[in-house]
């Protein structure tokens, strides 16, 4: 039995007169003790899926189970066993750090002492602010407090909805380290994020787009799926480079990627040289093509393209 | 049960930590009870009167003197031109014009009859009505005096005169404060019970904490009770403050028993808490719940018999007041505070408020289930 099983879950919302489908019959499973990532842009349906799994929302059709319990029939059992950290900070801003924590502990009929070892690593970082009101904490501290509150009853499955959105790079890295430590305590963790670079930190990821799962595998396997040669392109005028590249017949795909553009070509590698000389003719200065290894984001872009075509 | 206790503890902690709520709870009743009874007074004073005297006789002077010697009238001008007097009315400097015709005294003495003319500025209906009535009663008095003076003989009155002596029961001095203060207390309790509770519940929705609570094993009824009980207690606290202030400032001591007031208030609070819960199921932001509350409050106050008597409302409005819980409580407060009614005397009201409590709470719970 898997920690989370999702079978053909569909969810639709009424938006005025039209009907929006947030989840298109999606199915997947998460193994016990796994750190599973749902990667996708805003509006992909990640939060909706989490809300269904945490029994806050009913699915239109399909079944799902968490820790072996059905999300509809056994919702009471599930509520005892899961920890949920919503995307928005949802603790009592007017209660102190300690009050929030002990309040949620008592709601689960436990105490801070009982499960202190589980939250110790996180709690010591915010302990010096324990008399401070939660509303007065910094973003990263709020995140840690929310994680503590979600963990205080030693859940078997932890749902983290975009825990690192709006958190600085250092806190993000720290947060992921915390998650890896938790994983050692045999807690199954489902985490959603819009940041592709965090995908590599998960055991397995599902790429979600517009309510559909485009691919689901380990990060390494997903990057291996990328069957084309990927190039990075640079020139002085990056914007003109993008439009010119897209105009070339030989170019299969081209996306801006921070400082550079990631390009794939049709046919053989010869075409890369061909395009390079043509770009020089078009007046581009210091054009540089380099072969690179594809990352998750490249795979995601490709899967999206394939999805659009089919 | 233990969980409910923790919810209550958390709730009280939040209430006492929120300076705005505390201010609303403790300062609002003081200010309202200090200011409103003084301002909300139906007695019309300082009616501005302009006298046009074409007669200029001792009789006309006596009449004018009689009018201005009462506290109700303020003489704006004493003139001999109606056109000028009307100008005062047009510029809103006068509310009433009393015109005394030429030969007023002569006609009175010779023909035993004379006429006066009153013009009333009726833009402000209440003032016009009462001002006119006061003036008429002053003139009536004047008339009576003249009759006794001028018609010396025969000793026996020609016309039978009925003199009226009245005594005001329960409120001998007809003090409006005695009548307004208990009513305003009802408003305060309603604000706490129905609207603060609604805003508080919606606040949890808005900040997302309700969702966080929903993924815990806490049952819905525990959460709802955890919300309603604190406001039930706070409502009774506000009632106590209100009773204390009305004793301290207005020297109002309920004639009836305090137990009666508290028993009814306890039931009434259950009813209005149901209303608050109902409002909270409709609103998803505090702003929405504020606006719904404001709308309801206006209707409740104006159709509750606080400022205007229910008996003088049109039949449709009277029918509506039967569905207004505030009107029952205002009635009960006045009955107990002024008349000393007992629980037995207000049994009808008790029964109705119990029905309100059942209806509003079931409606709220039904709607709460439907929406979540």
Is A254 or B257 the better-scoring residue by pLDDT?
B257
- Residue B369 sits at the chain A interface (C-beta within 8 Å): no
ipTM of the complex: 0.79
Give the rounded percent of residues in chain B with a pLDDT score beyond 90: 33
3-state class (DSSP) for residue A66: strand
Is B213 or B368 the better-scoring residue by pLDDT?
B213
Number of domains making up chain B: 2
- Residue A95 sits at the chain B interface (C-beta within 8 Å): yes
Residue A71 with chain B: CB contacts under 8 Å:
none
* DSSP secondary structure code for residue B192 in this structure: I
Residue A54 with chain B: CB contacts under 8 Å:
215
Task: Give domain status of residue B5, yes or no.
Answer: no
**In the predicted model, is pLDDT for residue B153 greater than 70?**
no
Question: Structural domain boundaries of chain A?
Answer: 4-223, 227-293
Average pLDDT over residues B53-63: 89
- Residue A190 sits at the chain B interface (C-beta within 8 Å): no
CB atoms A88 and B208 under 8 Å: yes
Task: Give the residue numbers spanning the domain of B132.
Answer: 47-150
- Residue A56 sits at the chain B interface (C-beta within 8 Å): yes
**In the predicted model, is pLDDT for residue B349 greater than 90?**
yes
Return all residues near A149 (Cβ < 8 A) that are at least 6 apart. A85, A91, A100, A101, A104, B212
DSSP-assigned states of every residue in B239-269: HHHHHHHHHHTT----SS-HHHHHHHHHHHH
Dihedral angle at the C-alpha atoms of B331, B333, B335, B338, nearest 10 degrees?
-130
**In the predicted model, is pLDDT for residue B244 greater than 70?**
yes
Residue A106 with chain B: CB contacts under 8 Å:
2-3, 6
Residue B158 pLDDT = 60
Residue B344 pLDDT = 93
Taking only the tens place, the pLDDT of each residue in A79-124 is 999 999 998 888 999 999 999 999 999 999 898 898 898 888 889 9
Question: In a mutagenesis test of the A interface, which of B2, B14, B216 is the best target, namely the one with the most A β-carbons within 10 Å?
Answer: B216
Q: What is the CA radius of gyration of chain A?
A: 23
Task: Give domain status of residue B159, yes or no.
Answer: no
- Residue B13 sits at the chain A interface (C-beta within 8 Å): yes
- Residue B19 sits at the chain A interface (C-beta within 8 Å): no
- Residue B16 sits at the chain A interface (C-beta within 8 Å): no
**In the predicted model, is pLDDT for residue B154 greater than 80?**
no
Which member of A55, A86, A99 has the closest CB to residue B212?
Answer: A86
Residue A215 pLDDT = 86
Residue B268 pLDDT = 96
Measure the CA–CA gap between B234 and B269, rounded to whole angstroms. 10
- Residue A75 sits at the chain B interface (C-beta within 8 Å): no
Taking only the tens place, the pLDDT of each residue in B249-264 is 888 999 999 999 999 9
Residue A90 C-alpha, separation from nearest chain B C-alpha, in angstroms:
5
Residue B161 pLDDT = 66
Average pLDDT over residues B6-25: 86
Residue B77 sits in the same domain as residue B209: no
**In the predicted model, is pLDDT for residue A295 greater than 60?**
yes
Residue B27 sits in the same domain as residue B64: no
**In the predicted model, is pLDDT for residue B371 greater than 60?**
no
Taking a C-beta distance cutoff of 8 angstroms, is the pair A20, A205 a contact? no
Residue B142 sits in the same domain as residue B214: no
Measure the CA–CA gap between A169 and A171, rounded to whole angstroms. 6
**In the predicted model, is pLDDT for residue B40 greater than 80?**
no
Residue B151 pLDDT = 63
CB atoms B211 and A86 under 8 Å: yes
CB atoms B14 and A94 under 8 Å: yes
Residue B95 sits in the same domain as residue B25: no
Q: Is the four-CA dihedral B309, B313, B315, B316 of positive or negative sign?
A: negative
Residue A84 with chain B: CB contacts under 8 Å:
212, 215
Residue A68 C-alpha, separation from nearest chain B C-alpha, in angstroms:
17
Taking a C-beta distance cutoff of 8 angstroms, is the pair B339, B256 a contact? yes
CB atoms A90 and B14 under 8 Å: no
Out of A189-203, A239-253, B190-204, pick the least confident.
A239-253
Average pLDDT over residues A52-72: 92
Q: Where are the alpha helices (DSSP H) in A127-237?
A: 139-151, 169-183, 219-224
Task: Give domain status of residue B161, yes or no.
Answer: no
Residue B18 with chain A: CB contacts under 8 Å:
94
Kindly state the tokens that stand for B238. 């506000």
CB atoms B211 and A90 under 8 Å: yes
- Residue A195 sits at the chain B interface (C-beta within 8 Å): no
Measure the CA–CA gap between A72 and B49, rounded to whole angstroms. 78
Taking only the tens place, the pLDDT of each residue in B302-335 is 888 888 888 888 999 899 888 999 999 999 999 9
Residue B93 sits in the same domain as residue B204: no
Q: What CATH class is the domain A227-293? A: alpha beta
Which member of B2, B13, B212 has the closest CB to residue A91?
Answer: B212
Closest-CA residue of A relative to B222 is A107
**In the predicted model, is pLDDT for residue B14 greater than 80?**
yes
CB atoms A92 and B14 under 8 Å: yes
How many interface pairs between A and B have CB atoms less than 8 angstroms apart? 59
Extended strands (E) in chain B = 47-53, 73-79, 96-100, 117-120
Closest-CA residue of B relative to A58 is B372
Question: In a mutagenesis test of the A interface, which of B212, B219, B286 is the best target, namely the one with the most A β-carbons within 10 Å?
Answer: B212
Residue B135 sits in the same domain as residue B192: no
Out of A234-243, B84-93, B201-210, pick the least confident.
A234-243
Is A272 or A187 the better-scoring residue by pLDDT?
A187
Residue B191 sits in the same domain as residue B283: yes
CB atoms B6 and A80 under 8 Å: no
Residue B353 sits in the same domain as residue B255: yes
Average pLDDT over residues B159-175: 76
Residue A76 C-alpha, separation from nearest chain B C-alpha, in angstroms:
6
Task: Give domain status of residue B2, yes or no.
Answer: no
Residue A117 C-alpha, separation from nearest chain B C-alpha, in angstroms:
21
CB atoms B13 and A80 under 8 Å: no
Residue B137 sits in the same domain as residue B58: yes
Which member of A88, A95, A108 has the closest CB to residue B217?
Answer: A108
Residue B150 pLDDT = 67
Taking a C-beta distance cutoff of 8 angstroms, is the pair A9, A23 a contact? yes
Task: Give domain status of residue B163, yes or no.
Answer: no
Is A12 or A297 the better-scoring residue by pLDDT?
A12
- Residue B36 sits at the chain A interface (C-beta within 8 Å): no
Task: Give domain status of residue B4, yes or no.
Answer: no
Task: Please give the CATH architecture assigned to the domain spanning A4-223.
Answer: 3-Layer(aba) Sandwich (3.40)
Give the rounded percent of residues in chain A with a pLDDT score beyond 90: 36
Taking only the tens place, the pLDDT of each residue in A119-175 is 888 899 888 998 999 999 988 889 889 999 999 999 999 999 998 887 888 888 888
Scan residues 198-227 of B and list those with Cβ closer than 8 Å to A.
207-209, 211-218
Residue B357 sits in the same domain as residue B282: yes
Residue B361 pLDDT = 92
CB atoms B10 and A92 under 8 Å: yes
Taking a C-beta distance cutoff of 8 angstroms, is the pair A31, A187 a contact? no
Taking a C-beta distance cutoff of 8 angstroms, is the pair A263, A251 a contact? yes
DSSP-assigned states of every residue in B74-127: EEEEEES-HHHHHHHHHTTS-SEEEEE-TTHHHHHHHHS----EEEE--SSHHH
CATH number of the domain bearing residue B114:
3.40.1710.10
Assess whether the previous peptide bond of A96 is cis (omega < 30° from 0). Answer: no
Average pLDDT over residues B340-360: 94
* DSSP secondary structure code for residue B50 in this structure: E
Confidence at B292, pLDDT banded by 50, 70, 90: very high
* Average pLDDT in chain B: 87
Residue B10 with chain A: CB contacts under 8 Å:
92, 95, 99, 103
Average pLDDT over residues A240-266: 83
Q: Cβ of B234: how many Cβ atoms within 10 Å?
A: 21
**Nearest residue to B317 (alpha-carbon basis) of B331, B330, B305, B335:** B305
Residue A154 C-alpha, separation from nearest chain B C-alpha, in angstroms:
12
- Residue A25 sits at the chain B interface (C-beta within 8 Å): no
Residue B30 pLDDT = 85
Q: Of B150, B182, B203, which marks where a domain is finished?
A: B150
Taking only the tens place, the pLDDT of each residue in B77-128 is 888 888 999 999 888 888 889 999 988 888 888 887 888 899 998 888 878 8
Measure the CA–CA gap between A147 and A159, rounded to whole angstroms. 10
Residue B157 pLDDT = 58
Kindly state the tokens that stand for B112. 């035993």
- Residue B2 sits at the chain A interface (C-beta within 8 Å): yes
Task: Give domain status of residue B64, yes or no.
Answer: yes
Task: Give domain status of residue B157, yes or no.
Answer: no
């Amino acid at each position: 039995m898997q920690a989370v099983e999702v079978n053909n879950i569909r969810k639709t919302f009424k938006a005025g007169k039209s009907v929006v489908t947030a989840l298109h019959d999606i199915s997947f499973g998460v193994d016990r003790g796994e750190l599973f990532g749902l990667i996708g842009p805003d509006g992909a349906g990640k939060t909706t899926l989490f809300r269904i799994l945490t029994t806050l929302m009913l699915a239109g059709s399909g079944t799902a189970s968490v820790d072996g319990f059905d999300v509809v029939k056994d919702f009471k059992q599930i509520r005892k066993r899961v920890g949920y950290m919503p995307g928005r900070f949802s603790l009592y801003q007017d209660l102190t750090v300690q009050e929030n924590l002990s309040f949620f502990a008592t709601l689960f009929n436990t105490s801070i002492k009982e499960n202190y070892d589980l939250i110790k690593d996180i709690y010591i970082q915010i302990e010096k602010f324990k008399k401070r009101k939660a509303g007065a904490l910094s973003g990263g501290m709020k995140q840690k407090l929310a994680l503590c509150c979600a963990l205080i009853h030693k859940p078997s499955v932890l749902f983290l909805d975009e825990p690192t959105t709006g958190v600085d790079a250092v806190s993000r890295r720290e947060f992921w380290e915390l998650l890896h430590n938790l994983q050692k305590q045999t807690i199954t963790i489902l985490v959603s994020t819009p940041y592709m670079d965090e995908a590599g930190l998960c055991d397995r990821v599902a790429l979600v787009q517009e309510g559909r799962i485009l691919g689901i595998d380990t990060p390494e396997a997903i990057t291996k799926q990328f069957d084309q040669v990927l190039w990075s392109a640079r020139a002085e005028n990056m914007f003109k480079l993008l439009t010119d590249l897209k105009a070339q017949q030989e170019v299969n795909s081209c996306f801006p990627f921070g400082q550079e553009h990631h390009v794939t070509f049709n046919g053989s590698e010869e075409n890369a040289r061909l395009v390079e000389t043509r770009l020089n003719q078009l007046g581009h200065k210091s054009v540089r093509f380099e072969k690179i290894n594809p990352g998750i984001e490249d795979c995601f872009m490709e899967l999206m393209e394939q999805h659009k075509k089919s | 049960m233990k969980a409910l206790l923790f919810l209550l503890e958390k709730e009280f902690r939040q209430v006492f930590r929120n300076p705005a709520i505390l201010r609303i709870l403790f300062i609002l009743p003081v200010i309202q009870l200090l200011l409103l009874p003084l301002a909300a007074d139906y007695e019309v004073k300082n009616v501005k009167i302009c006298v046009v005297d074409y007669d200029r006789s001792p009789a006309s002077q006596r009449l004018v003197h009689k009018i201005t010697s009462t506290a109700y009238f303020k003489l704006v001008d004493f003139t001999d031109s109606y056109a000028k007097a009307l100008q005062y009315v047009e510029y809103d400097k006068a509310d009433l014009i009393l015109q005394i015709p030429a030969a007023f005294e002569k006609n009175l003495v010779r023909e035993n009859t004379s006429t006066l003319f009153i013009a009333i500025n009726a833009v402000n209906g209440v003032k016009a009505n009462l001002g006119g009535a006061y003036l008429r009663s002053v003139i009536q008095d004047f008339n009576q005096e003249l009759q006794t003076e001028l018609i010396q003989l025969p000793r026996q009155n020609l016309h039978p005169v009925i003199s009226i002596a009245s005594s005001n029961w329960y409120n001998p001095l007809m003090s409006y404060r005695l009548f307004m203060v208990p009513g305003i207390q009802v408003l305060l309790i309603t604000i706490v019970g129905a609207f603060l509770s609604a805003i508080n519940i919606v606040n949890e929705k808005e900040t997302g904490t309700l969702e966080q609570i929903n993924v815990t094993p806490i049952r819905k009824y525990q959460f709802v009770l955890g919300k309603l009980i604190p406001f039930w207690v706070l409502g009774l606290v506000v009632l106590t403050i209100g009773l204390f202030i009305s004793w301290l400032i207005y020297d109002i001591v309920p004639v009836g028993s305090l137990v009666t007031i508290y028993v009814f208030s306890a039931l009434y609070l259950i009813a209005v808490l149901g209303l608050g819960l109902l409002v909270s199921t409709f609103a998803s932001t505090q702003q929405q719940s504020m606006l719904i509350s404001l709308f309801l409050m206006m209707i409740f106050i104006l159709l509750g018999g606080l400022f205007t008597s229910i008996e003088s409302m049109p039949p449709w409005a009277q029918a509506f007041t039967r569905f207004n819980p505030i009107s029952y409580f205002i009635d009960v407060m006045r009955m107990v505070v002024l008349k000393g009614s007992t629980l037995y005397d207000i049994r009808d009201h008790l029964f109705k408020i119990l029905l309100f409590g059942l209806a509003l709470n079931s409606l709220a719970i039904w709607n709460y289930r439907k929406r979540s």
